[in-house]
Amino acid sequence: MKGAWLVLKKEMLYWTKDRRTLFLTLFFPLILYPLLFGIMTKMSLNDSRRLSTSVTRVAIDDPRNILSSILFREGSGFEKFTESLENIPLALSQEKIHLSIKVPQDAKDYVASQKPIDLQITYDPSRDMSEKGFFKIQKFIKDNDAMIVVGRLNELRLTSDILEPTRISIIKTTGANEEIGKLIGLFLPYFLLISMYAGAMQFGADITAGEKERGTLLSLLTTRLSRLQIMQGKMLAIFCVSILGIAMNLIAIGLGGFTAGNLALYDRVEKTKAMAISMGSPTPPTIDLQSILTPQAILLTLGLLIPLGLLFSAIILTIGAQSKSVREANVAMVPGIFIVLAIGVFSLSPGIEKLTYLPFVPLMNITVVIRKLFTGQFVAWEYLITLLMTLLLSWFTVALSGRLLSRENALFKS
Amino acid sequence: MIEVSNIYKSFTLKDKRTLKIKTIAAVQDISFSVLPGEIYGLLGPNGAGKSTTLRMIATLMSPEKGSIKVSGLSTTQHPNEVRAKLGFLATDMDVYERFTPREQLKIFGEFQGMDPESAEKRGLQLLDNLGILDFANVKMDGFSSGQRQKFNIARALLHDPQVIIFDEPTTGLDVLTAKTVLDLLINLKTQGKTIILSTHILPMVEKICSKVGIIYQGKLQTEGSPKQVMERFNSNSLDEVFFTLADSKEPKGGQ
Ligand SMILES: Nc1ncnc2c1ncn2[C@@H]1O[C@H](COP(=O)(O)OP(=O)(O)OP(=O)(O)O)[C@@H](O)[C@H]1O
Ligand SMILES: [Mg+2]
């Protein structure tokens, strides 16, 4: 086994001599993820703030000033659009206005005679501001109606309870945070699997087929090291590099959650102010990546990816050792990317976590379990089964590659 | 000592156009032996089977038939033990460009079971002998092909092997360095090492080899001391022996 360690040492030393790869594997993720998450949080917060504090521009046709007189009060969140408009749908899609309201001429008489007023509201559901404005105006009208109704009931000596045979109070167990968790749970396994395979592939092809191509393998093969030791050392090296890469990714993701979390914290103060100004808007979403990207979830993810890394290393070593050039090796390894891609895409499909047999499907179960780790649906036995299956599978692959590579012409094509 | 007995090796090649598979008998029934304190010169035209024979001795390939023993150990049964005794050099070997010679010699010393310090010490000594000590701490990507070859010679001799297998050791070397390598080989011979080399430089063979074997189309045509071989063919030089041999064979070229 000592020989294998020596080979591992050499490969790792060789790896550190390549500054570009070193930077890409070790430091790039540290910059990438915090930036990514930071931007993600900032944008979604900005967006929600924009929606909650913004003023809805309304083009109104209300010649007798019935609705206008109450709608455009100071701080109502509505603003009258005074220019004349030819094409309302166009103005809506260009976001010149967010709503267009038509009030009938004789509305006042209707109120007096207790007949409903036919209010016509035009909005563009594809525009956030327009849709938001629509919800706002609905609420505004409802509130206003409620006041009128209470007045009418008082006249009849009734209370508003008559309108409410049932009263519902709603408790929401998930919020915006869970939504983001879901999103992260969706893309993270996909991202991790691909980056792990691609990283292992690049390095693996280099130290197997690449060594052959550059003519250095021969000098290794004529030392007293056995082929098995050389192979073991190289497999360990591919394994180490891929795990190092993935560990850096996960650390960066954790850090990303931390910075984004702090951003969100800072934003929450701003938001309370914003809420006070805005009228009739629902509670803005609070996003706290720190509570999604917990150290536990990240460590458990790493725990699953370690045996998977071994599996990838065995596959890549087997292909690389039997290829004559890096090109040939890459051609043979690319189908692996497609398989990983397919598994990743599968993990993106909604509702798959409901399939009961999924924890027993190797590789697939990894993506699902990782996803559940970040959406608060973690199930211990599923994790253990997945871990066990991946360990078994990687052990089997390592054994198989050992057999394939012990053939005479496996390394030194004759 | 090296004992090669009746070895065979063939390769299958595929013609990309006709898609026909043909078999090349690269080595056919070759036998010879090299004793400690001897330099054996393996000669022959391109594609004769010299490198294939040397690779089989170095355990990189195994013969289909026959057997090879190095210091009494079978190359197929104890390949790792055999390699521990070998210093191997071939033309298609290159260096790790990201390392310096010093780093690389340390690594290879460890591979050969030496401790890093003594590997480094001996390595630097060899680099000095070969005249590239000034480059000991320079990354090897800028090395010329001759400098690379010199480094490879140092690497092959690092662990002071008992048996030395050099496939065309003077390729790419200038006359002065080639002379240094020859002196090195003669020195190793007097130390009692078992040495086998292949080369196309026949005057060199006449000078340093105790024995030569001429391979032609995978078969050993003649063997003996350079003098014996020349006498056998009534020639004044090994060049002439080559011409005579080529004429006696049907003009098929290499294979
Ligand atoms: N790995 C291989 N795969 C297929 N054919 C091979 C292989 N190695 C050698 N051969 C074939 O075997 C024959 C002998 O090759 P070898 O390399 O032993 O010749 P050589 O005597 O060393 O020639 P040279 O002087 O050109 O180095 C050649 O016809 C060559 O094409
Ligand atoms: Mg050759």
CA distance A356 to A374: 19
The nearest CA of chain B is from the CA of A205 a distance in Å of 16
- Alpha-carbon distance B93 to B60, whole Å? 13
Alpha-carbon distance of A364 to A344, in angstroms, equals 8
Chain B interface disruption, residue of A11, A211, A218, most B CBs within 10 A: A218
pLDDT for the residue numbered B57: 96
CA A75 to chain centre: 36
Percent of chain A with pLDDT over 70: 85
- Quick check: B96 contacting A, CB < 8 Å? yes
Choose one of B4, B10, B11, B215 to mutate for the ligand 1 pocket test, by most ligand atoms within 8 angstroms of C-beta.
Answer: B11
B182: CB partners within 8 A, 6+ apart: B170, B204, B207, B208
Phi, psi of B213 (to 5 degrees): -130, 130
Chain B residue closest to A11 (CA)? B107
pTM for this model (two decimals) = 0.79
Coil, helix or strand for A207? Answer: helix
Contact B56, B68 (CB under 8 A): yes
CB–CB contacts below 8 A, A to B: 66
pLDDT of residue A284: 46
A128: helix, strand or coil: helix
> CA-CA distance, A353 to A350, in Å (whole number)?
8
* Cβ of residue B115 closer than 8 Å to a chain A Cβ: no
Query: A198 vs chain B: nearest CA distance in angstroms?
Result: 23
For the segment A216-225, the average pLDDT, to the nearest whole number, is: 92
CA gap A403, A400 in Å, rounded: 5
- pLDDT-derived band at A283, boundaries 50, 70, 90: very low
Tell me the C-alpha distance between B123 and B125, whole Å: 5
Nearest CA in chain B to A15: B98
In angstroms, the Cα distances linking A27 to A159, A197, A245, A248, B116 are 67, 18, 10, 8, 32
What per-residue confidence (pLDDT) applies to A274? 43
pLDDT of residue A277: 40
Is residue A259's pLDDT more than 50?
A: yes
Under a CB-based contact definition with an 8 Å cutoff, are residues A372 and A378 in contact?
yes
Here the tokens at position B199 are: 């080369």
Contact B5, B66 (CB under 8 A): yes
Q: pLDDT tens, A363-409?
A: 888 888 888 888 878 888 989 999 999 999 999 999 888 888 776 56
Residue located nearest, by CA, to atom 1 of ligand 1:
A414
Beta strands B163-167 and B86-89, pairing class: parallel
Closest residue to B60, CB basis, from A9, A18, A412: A412
Residue A411, min C-alpha distance to chain B (Å)? 9
Quick check: A280 and A142 in contact, CB under 8 A? Answer: no
Whether chain B has a CB inside 8 Å of the CB on A414: the answer is yes
**Rounded average pLDDT over A98-121:** 84
B103: closest CA of chain A, how far (Å) = 10
d(C-alpha A193, C-alpha A121), whole Å? 49
Q: Please report the atom of ligand 1 found closest to the CA of residue A413.
A: 1
Note whether A224 contacts B152, CB cutoff 8 Å: no
One-letter identity of residue B163: V
Calculate how far, in angstroms, residue B174's C-alpha sits from the geometric centre of ligand 2.
20
Contacts A16 to B, Cβ<8 Å:
none
N residues, chain B: 255
Of A6, A14, A222, the CB nearest to B98: A14
In 3D space, the residue among A294, A291, A286, A293 whose CA is nearest the CA of residue A267 turns out to be: A286
**What are the residues facing B97 on neighbouring strands?**
none
**ipTM here:** 0.89
Q: Does A22 touch chain B (CB under 8 A)?
A: no
Q: Using the beta-carbon criterion (under 8 Å), do B99 and A17 form an inter-chain contact?
A: yes
Contact yes or no for A218 and B108 at CB 8 A: no
Sheet strands side by side (includes B73-74): B21-34, B2-14, B65-70, B73-74
What spacing in Å lies between the alpha carbon of B69 and ligand 2's midpoint?
A: 21
Using the beta-carbon criterion (under 8 Å), do A412 and B61 form an inter-chain contact? yes
Q: Are strands A120-122 and A99-102 parallel, antiparallel or unpaired?
A: antiparallel
Contacts of A377 (CB under 8 A, 6+ apart): A353
A360 alpha carbon to ligand 1 midpoint, in Å?
A: 51
- Find out whether A387 and A307 touch, Cβ atoms under 8 Å: yes
Which runs of E-coded beta strand occur in A92-141? 99-102, 120-122
Distance from CA of B3 to the nearest CA of A (A): 19
pLDDT at B139: 94
Q: Identify the pLDDT of residue B176.
A: 87
| CB-nearest partner of B80 from A214, A215, A226 | A226
Q: Does A19 touch chain B (CB under 8 A)?
A: no
Query: Could you say which residues of chain B have pLDDT below 70?
Result: 249-255
- How far, in Å, are A208, A361, A382, B109 from residue A385 at the CA level? 33, 10, 5, 45
Q: What is the DSSP string of A220-265?
A: HHTSS--HHHHHHHHHHHHHHHHHHHHHHHHHHHHHHHHHHHHHHH
- Measured between its terminal Cα atoms, the distance across chain A in Å is 27
Q: What's the helix, strand, coil split of chain A in %, to 5?
A: 70, 5, 25
Measured distance CA(A241)–CA(A353) in Å, rounded: 31
pLDDT at A184 over 70: yes
The Cα–Cα gap between A196 and B59 comes to 36
Q: Which among A14, A219, A414 has CB closest to B61?
A: A414
Cβ of A6 within 8 Å of Cβ of B110? The answer is: yes
Q: Does the distance separating the beta carbons of B97 and A220 come in below 8 Å?
A: no
Statement: residue A54 has pLDDT above 90: no
Kindly state the tokens that stand for A407: 């053939």
Do A222 and B70 contact (CB within 8 A), yes or no?
no
Q: φ, ψ for residue B212 (rounded to 5)?
A: -130, 155
**What is the layout of strands, in order, in the sheet containing A56-61?**
A78-80, A56-61, A99-102, A120-122
Q: Any idea of the CA torsion for A106, A110, A115, A120, to the nearest 10 degrees? A: 40
Question: If you write DSSP's letter for every residue of chain B in order, what string do you get?
Answer: -EEEEEEEEEEEEE-TTT--EEEEEEEEEEEEEE-TT-EEEEE-STTSSHHHHHHHHTTSS--SEEEEEETTEETTTSHHHHHHTEEEE-TT----TTS-HHHHHHHHHHHTT--HHHHHHHHHHHHHHHT-GGGTTS-GGG--HHHHHHHHHHHHHTT--SEEEEESTTTT--HHHHHHHHHHHHHHHHTT-EEEEE-S-HHHHHHH-SEEEEEETTEEEEEE-HHHHHHHTT-SSHHHHHHHHHHHS-S----
Give the residue-averaged pLDDT of A132-136: 88
Cα-to-centroid distance, B55 and ligand 2 (Å): 10
| CA of A410 relative to ligand 1 center, distance in Å | 18
Establish if A154 touches chain B: CB-CB under 8 angstroms: no
- Cβ-based contacts of B86 with chain A (< 8 Å): 222
Which of B54, B96, B100 to mutate against chain A (most A CBs within 10 Å)? B96
CA distance A215 to chain B (A): 5
* CA neighbor of B1 nearest in space, from B73, B76, B84: B73
Question: With an 8 Å Cβ cutoff, are B61 and A18 in contact?
Answer: no
Q: Which two tokens stand for residue A244?
A: 């190092």
| Ligand with the closest atom to the CA of A212 | 1
Instruction: For residue range A94-108, list pLDDT tens digits in order.
Output: 888 999 999 888 777
Residue ranges of domains in chain B, CATH in brackets: 2-249 (3.40.50.300)
Kindly state whether A226 is in contact with chain B, defined as any CB-CB distance less than 8 angstroms.
yes
Cβ contacts of B61-65, under 8 Å, gap ≥ 24: B61/A408, B61/A412, B61/A414, B61/B9, B62/A408, B63/B7, B63/B8, B63/B9, B63/B27, B64/B7, B64/B8, B64/B9, B64/B10, B65/B6, B65/B7, B65/B8
Q: What residue ranges line ligand 1, CB within 6 angstroms?
A: A 414; B 11, 13, 24, 26, 44, 46-52, 255
Confidence at residue A276, expressed as pLDDT on a 0 to 100 scale:
41
Test A224 with B112 for CB contact under 8 angstroms.
yes
| pLDDT value at residue A279 | 37
Most confident range, picked from A77-86, A236-245, A359-368? A236-245
